[in-house]
Structure 1
Amino acid sequence: MKRNIVLYVGAFELPDCNAAAQRVRANAILLTALGYDVVLIGRSSDPDCPPNKLRRAQHVGIDHDCWEMGHPASQKDWLRYISSVAALDKLIEHEYSGRVHSIICYNFPAVAQFRVRKLARRAGARAMADVTEWYQSLVPTSVAALVKNFDTWFRMRIVNPRMDALITTSRYLTRYYERWFDSLVELPTLIEHDSNNLEGLFATPDGGVKRLYYGGSVIEKRALAKEKEGLKDRIDWVLELLDAVKQEGGEFHFDIYGVAREDYLEVLPYHEPLLQRLRENVCFHGRRPRHELLDAQRCCDFSIFMRSAIRTTLAGFPTKFTESISVGTPVITNALENIEPYMNEGENCERIEYTNLEESVARIKACLALPAAEVLRRKLACRQSAQFHPLRFVEEAAKLFPDQRGSQ
């Protein structure tokens, strides 16, 4: 019997409810190009979807087999979620027995992932992990925080090195894990898109006020957010730079999606005077549907974000960088080692650094002064580059399967 099925399992919500879903769908395209049939096994926010039981799902635009289970609704459900693979075992037995080539765990709970490894052995399959994050330890103020810290330690340092192969998303993770693996592939966050579709690209006409965009979650972990280094995205840095830009006569409109003004000030109350100074320039939109964010990003002149060099940011790869370039919008950001190889200044990005206020303010002002034709040229270059289209990484992904392509 042909073993050509790859099960991709994790807490992603299809079709595109979180960044995890976007990565998994893109990686599924890679695996399909290599000759495998991919089965996506994720989560659902539907209250009628039972926790710890899998049901078949269908999503427009996704041709793979899809299964999903509900989010844990009780402490008992949660304990089963982080420790049990009974539902996955049952699915393999009844739907894919004898045909599973590999099981890929996407940022899976450590104990459950360890059991997936054993399950794969019994099924005659390979056990892999797609590792895209390594969070800072939470302040141990609750049992939940202690459990989360243990789960992260156990998964990253004990379970992942014992998998058969690994996918990482950054040099930080690759450096840590490459000592254990021959089959290790580093893939940035990828997004499927039509690079020939240039519809909707827009640059502010000459004489108009250029638009800047940020979309994401400023406050990742409230237990850490009270400390400045706990902020994953440093929009506080961006706002301080833009405040300096305005004081030097620069004009702009900055749309912030994913956080409300009051939530931002709850964590960074000392920015109240700054936001007051920028009240005509900055608009907080809070959480909005993804299609609205994509439209706003496509219609702005530049997206902008900054990150500090902490483990959380170095281990991952910012989806907002991939997404912005893929929709056709150049990025203003600081250069961390995970994205630096993909930065092409003057084409898809402009580099700024919080530690160099004078030069960064000058660079932002220069972006705001660009003619509309130049902004549009850069936007076309971003879109047409197909820099993060999954099919550009097929040869790299093939290293996960050194023996065959879709058969065993």
Structure 2
Amino acid sequence: MPATPVTGRAWVALVGPFLFPWGQPGSRRVYGMARSLAAAGYDVVVASGEEGPSTPTRLDEVDGPGSVHYLGLGEIPSAQAGRLARSVQWFLRWGQRTVHWLDAQPTRPSHVLVAGGDAPYMVHLRRWCRRNAIPLVADVVDWYSPRQMRGGVLGPPHLSAKAALRYYYPRCDGIIAVSSFLERHYRNRGSRVLRVPPTLDVQNLPVHPRRDGTGAPELRLVYAGTPGRKDLIANIIRAVGRVHRAGAGIELRIYGPAPEQVRDLLDGEPTPPGVRVLGRLPQHEIPRALQEADFSVLLREPARFVQAGFPTKFCESLANSTPVIANLTSDLGGYLHHRSEGLVCDDHSVDGLTGTLREALRLSAAERKVMRELARRRALDSFDFRVYAQPLGAFLDDVRL
């Protein structure tokens, strides 16, 4: 395994089987934390189980004395691997390449930070950290529901995730929790916990002047992302269709899911007028799509797996100076205030969103402008990675063995 360049400062290994290369969807959480630690003076090496560069590649987008590098360790079996080979890798060898890479380093990291490590992966990683007296810190961002996992309640993915959440993570030396739900849970288990929401480079995200062409609708809405089992996109579409049929000039642009996926979410119903399903959008074009909308829209059921997470979509919208229309789940109530950073729905129902959309249509241009400014300010104050440099650095200092 390749050695990691170390400059003499303490370095942190940020590892996980499913970490994405920089710039891909799903990479924001990990690289937000990595850049916070670099701003605090750490050299961070992101070592993923995905295929990637075999030697560490430096990330230039870092603000601070530290650095961030990325490499792929290829823990994940290839698509051509047979079922037996995949099962052996999953149950017996999951995490072995990561600990072999750690063993190959000329100097040990000051900490190992694991993101998304399930039970088999945690077995190898925890054993290595205990043997080498290296603090192990888990970044926890979900509390998985059986309906989210292949095979349901008795499926291996759910059982593995459950074992990690309930057994392995509480035995780590520290927990970084994405929400107050997870913070309370692990603090009650006696863990040292720091809460860090999703973070972005808000400061360097440009906000462009909006392009208001002739014939633009009165209210422009956007949804960008993958609905999964959390976002109630069908309720959003039905509420927009209801308001549009009543004669309002409203348009919802949906980026991410394909038209056939949206039809499935609507149980075969046709997409109503006023809703445009535009499919996938390159990552670098998403900011512009958000900035051209009056509001982004997010509805979620207040189930436990929703309360435990924190929607990155929300942070991205505010960072792009686009207020959010949403019902309050997770910790959104601490960042979204009615007629400030957006509009708060009473609940996640079609009726609840319909009433809020009608209120949005009554807002003046001046009121919307103030809300855009407040949304951006909230993102700078609460979701920029620099805000968490000192807290994360202090937390790692506190969990040294």
Query: Which whole-Å deviations, capped at 9, do the CAs of 1:317-369 have from their partners, x for residues lacking one?
Result: 00000110011110000011321111122121211134676564333123234
Displacement, 1:149? 1.5
* Counterpart position of 2:356: 363
* Counterpart position of 1:260: 258
Contact kept in structure 2, 1:42 and 1:69, CA below 8 Å: yes
Aligned-partner Cα distance in 1 for 2:260–2:215: 33
> Residue 73 of structure 2: SS of its match in structure 1?
strand
Aligned-partner Cα distance in 2 for 1:375–1:206: 19
1:17 and 2:24 aligned: yes
Distance 1:315 1:358, change over 3 A: closer
* Counterpart position of 2:47: 41
Aligned-partner Cα distance in 2 for 1:260–1:145: 30
Aligned-partner Cα distance in 1 for 2:166–2:243: 44
Query: Which whole-Å deviations, capped at 9, do the CAs of 1:115-171 have from their partners, x for residues lacking one?
Result: 211111222210110000122114898599711111111111111111110011112
If the length of structure 2 is used for normalisation, what is the TM-score? 0.85
Contact kept in structure 2, 1:72 and 1:78, CA below 8 Å: no
Distance 1:154 1:397, change over 3 A: same
Aligned-partner Cα distance in 2 for 1:340–1:140: 28
Distance 1:254 1:175, change over 3 A: same
2:139 partner amino acid: D
Contact kept in structure 1, 2:99 and 2:124, CA below 8 Å: no
* Counterpart position of 2:340: 347
Aligned-partner Cα distance in 2 for 1:372–1:96: 60
Q: Structure 1 stretch 79-88 or stretch 307-316: which is displaced more?
A: 79-88
* Counterpart position of 1:202: 210
Contact kept in structure 2, 1:189 and 1:388, CA below 8 Å: yes
Distance 1:87 1:96, change over 3 A: farther
2:208 partner amino acid: G
Aligned-partner Cα distance in 2 for 1:140–1:312: 12
Contact kept in structure 1, 2:235 and 2:349, CA below 8 Å: no
1:213 and 2:218 aligned: no
* Counterpart position of 2:174: 165
1:88 and 2:86 aligned: no
* Counterpart position of 1:121: 130
2:374 partner amino acid: A
Contact kept in structure 1, 2:239 and 2:351, CA below 8 Å: no
> Residue 269 of structure 1: SS of its match in structure 2?
coil
> Which of 236, 239, 242 matches 1:241?
239
* Counterpart position of 1:321: 314
> Which of 63, 67, 70 matches 1:66?
70
Aligned-partner Cα distance in 2 for 1:3–1:180: 33
Query: Which whole-Å deviations, capped at 9, do the CAs of 1:295-332 have from their partners, x for residues lacking one?
Result: 20121111001001122211110000011001111000
Unaligned stretches of 5+ residues in structure 1: 221-230
> Which of 255, 267, 270 matches 1:269?
267
> Which of 288, 291, 294 matches 2:281?
288
Distance 1:307 1:140, change over 3 A: closer
* Counterpart position of 1:56: 56
Aligned-partner Cα distance in 2 for 1:143–1:245: 37
Contact kept in structure 2, 1:198 and 1:383, CA below 8 Å: no
1:401 partner amino acid: L
Aligned-partner Cα distance in 1 for 2:142–2:390: 24
Aligned-partner Cα distance in 2 for 1:143–1:347: 40
Distance 1:395 1:27, change over 3 A: same
Displacement, 1:270? 4.6
Unaligned stretches of 5+ residues in structure 2: 1-5
Query: Which whole-Å deviations, capped at 9, do the CAs of 1:251-300 have from their partners, x for residues lacking one?
Result: 2111111111212222432533xx2xx23x11111222111222201211
Aligned-partner Cα distance in 2 for 1:355–1:143: 25
- Per chain length, whose mean CA-contact separation is higher, i.e. which structure has more relative contact order (CA < 8 Å, sep 6+)? 1
> Which of 16, 22, 34 matches 1:28?
34
Contact kept in structure 2, 1:7 and 1:39, CA below 8 Å: yes
Distance 1:127 1:139, change over 3 A: closer
1:367 partner amino acid: A
Q: How many residues align?
A: 381
Distance 1:313 1:348, change over 3 A: same
Aligned-partner Cα distance in 2 for 1:186–1:158: 20
Displacement, 1:32? 2.3
> Residue 95 of structure 1: SS of its match in structure 2?
coil
> Residue 386 of structure 2: SS of its match in structure 1?
helix
1:151 and 2:160 aligned: yes
> Which of 366, 374, 377 matches 2:367?
374
1:400 partner amino acid: F
> Residue 351 of structure 1: SS of its match in structure 2?
strand
* Counterpart position of 2:3: none
Aligned-partner Cα distance in 2 for 1:321–1:58: 29
Aligned-partner Cα distance in 1 for 2:262–2:353: 23
* Counterpart position of 2:120: 111
> C-alpha root-mean-square deviation of aligned residues, in Å?
2.9
1:22 partner amino acid: R
